[in-house]
A and B are shown apart, each in its own frame.
Chain A
Amino acid sequence: DAKTTQPPSMDCAEGRAANLPCNHSTISGNEYVYWYRQIHSQGPQYIIHGLKNNETNEMASLIITEDRKSSTLILPHATLRDTAVYYCIVSDNAGKSTFGDGTTLTVKP
């Protein structure tokens, strides 16, 4: 699986959009970009995934650059409950996910 690089931490004001970047410059053509988050002492939660088109669901939007070497997860209106570690993973098989260190997002009031 391709490796990903994420900033270790980010802060965001409550109610504002949180934009979490991820670099995956070695991604191959059949690999998807997945985003999960983990709230302290819980199992990870699936957020969104995409191959090359931008995606949106009820939780977030995923913007993938045209060359697919990076992506951004957008939480449009961050709440305090969005404070978590966010993991960006690239894989051709959702099941065999290699987790990096992720980004610790802290949403502040």
Chain B
Amino acid sequence: GAVVSQHPSRVICKSGTSVKIECRSLDFQATTMFWYRQFPKQSLMLMATSNEGSKATYEQGVEKDKFLINHASLTLSTLTVTSAHPEDSSFYICSSDGGQTDTQYFGPGTRLTVL
């Protein structure tokens, strides 16, 4: 299947700083990528849909000014958590449809810890 990578895999930052997470499609072009968040012992929650060359579409309740998404190329989408606070500590996961319409491939996730 298609391969999606994320960087970094783990990040620890101080409260008030911004953190950028990269999501790359390694062997295909990803017009659309998705960003999820997962708190401990909970399921994945879709945060936003990232579209190459256009603005992201955010799910209800997700602050677009806090979670900045950029999808400037067909192989890279970035999620920036601005002015991070401890409650933003979570597991962030991206995914893509792998160039197909009927399946989805997930990245390995990024563990964010805000002190």
A positions within 8 Å CB-CB of B: 32, 34, 36, 38, 41-46, 49, 87, 93-102
Assess whether B45 is interfacial by the CB under 8 Å rule: yes
In addition to A49-B103, A97-B46, 17 A-B residue pairs with Cβ atoms within 8 Å of each other are: A42-B108, A43-B6, A43-B93, A43-B95, A43-B107, A43-B108, A44-B106, A46-B1, A46-B104, A94-B100, A94-B101, A95-B104, A96-B49, A97-B44, A97-B95, A97-B104, A99-B44
User: Can you list 17 residue pairs at the A/B interface with Cβ under 8 Å?
Assistant: A32-B102, A34-B103, A43-B106, A43-B109, A46-B103, A46-B106, A49-B102, A49-B103, A95-B95, A95-B96, A96-B46, A97-B44, A97-B104, A98-B46, A99-B46, A100-B43, A102-B43
Main secondary structure of the interface of B (DSSP, over half): strand
Which listed residue, A94, A98, A99, A102, touches B103 by the CB 8 Å rule? A94
What CA separation (Å) do A77 and B95 show in the bound complex?
28
Which positions 10-67 of chain B face chain A at CB distance < 8 Å?
32, 34, 36, 43-46, 49
In the complex, A30→B4 CA distance in Å?
27
Tell whether, in the assembled complex, residue B93 and residue A95 are in contact, meaning their CB atoms are under 8 Å apart: no
Contact call B102/A44, Cβ cutoff below 8 A? no
Residues of B within 8 A of A97 (CB): 34, 44, 46, 95, 104
